[in-house]
Structure 1
């Protein structure tokens, strides 16, 4: 059973290790180190959402609402409106192609709603563009990064998600023989 929640200070070490596994070993965005941990430069101002399976960290994302966002620091102009930035989106290989990403998406959208913002901006890896689009993300700028770690600036609004392929799949279906009054 998967559990999604906001991270606590006690989750920090596991977050740093998953961050390293994903953004050093898998996507070569940072240099290796002997400690095999990567502390995000915005760690102290991030809000982390995590996914746990049997108490073990299997997914995470970091949410920021302080400007400049990492996208802005790379010269990307944000769409009009108020946004939160989702960074460090990571799911362990064993939990990919499951509903784990959908659980993180639900957490991200709840966070955006709670903060009263337009939606989410993200640097989506080019490797997972099909997945992001299925959830309703749309590009708003040209790709950034290096050939080894290329990202597309994308945005997602609640209405964009509700119109997405994934939201249509997750909506309850009425399977009663009709006509039936509800």
Structure 2
């Protein structure tokens, strides 16, 4: 029998795995970024965002990133202007992004539980609105979590 799934904030020890999994999924698997020799993907929000990790005992199976409004910028800022999405200027908006699960754990509950954890983490810090960007094939999951499209694809 496999170990139960636990959810927790990422530690410094988790960051190399997070950056490596980001590279495997977003560069090698999906081709959204160019692969690099380091085998890691990082961005300008790292260090300001919060990562939540799903694990079975010591084995990490997925993560999600939450960017709180006090950071003052979001990953969405790379794709949309504040004029196009003015709610990014509101004080209670959190961004959920990079929901990423190891390939062999995608059929399980890790993705849905990570989304739930991100929403609970946000609510516990006064967040009343969440913005997220994800692949079109995951819209159903985002809708099931209570999010609604804003008309941008």
Q: TM class by shorter-chain length?
A: 0.7 to 0.9
The Cα shift of 1:102 comes to 2.3
3-state DSSP class of the match of 1:137? coil
Q: Name the structure 2 match of 1:47.
A: 50
In the alignment, structure 1 segments of 5+ residues that lack a partner are: 144-182
* Contact kept? 1:61, 1:90, Cα under 8 Å: yes
Cα RMSD, aligned residues only? 1.7
The structure where strand makes up a greater share of residues is 1
Larger Rg: 1
SS of 2:133's partner is: strand
- Match in the other structure for 1:57: 60
C-alpha distance 78-57 of structure 1, shift in aligned 2 (>3 A)? farther
CA contact (8 A) 1:15 1:57 kept: no
In the alignment, what sits opposite 1:92?
102
Quote the offset at 1:107 in angstroms.
1.2
Q: Structure 1's 114 and 15: CA in aligned 2 closer, same or farther, altered over 3 A?
A: same
CA contact (8 A) 1:79 1:140 kept: no
Question: Does structure 1 residue 2 correspond to structure 2 residue 5?
Answer: yes
Count of matched residue pairs: 143
**Per-residue Cα deviation, 1:146-178 (whole angstroms, up to 9, x for no partner):** xxxxxxxxxxxxxxxxxxxxxxxxxxxxxxxxx
- Structure 2 unaligned residues grouped into runs of 5+: none
* 2:85 alignment counterpart: 77
Say if 1:72 and 1:78, in contact at 8 Å, map to a contact too.
Answer: no
Give the counterpart of 1:140 among 124, 145, 150. Answer: 150
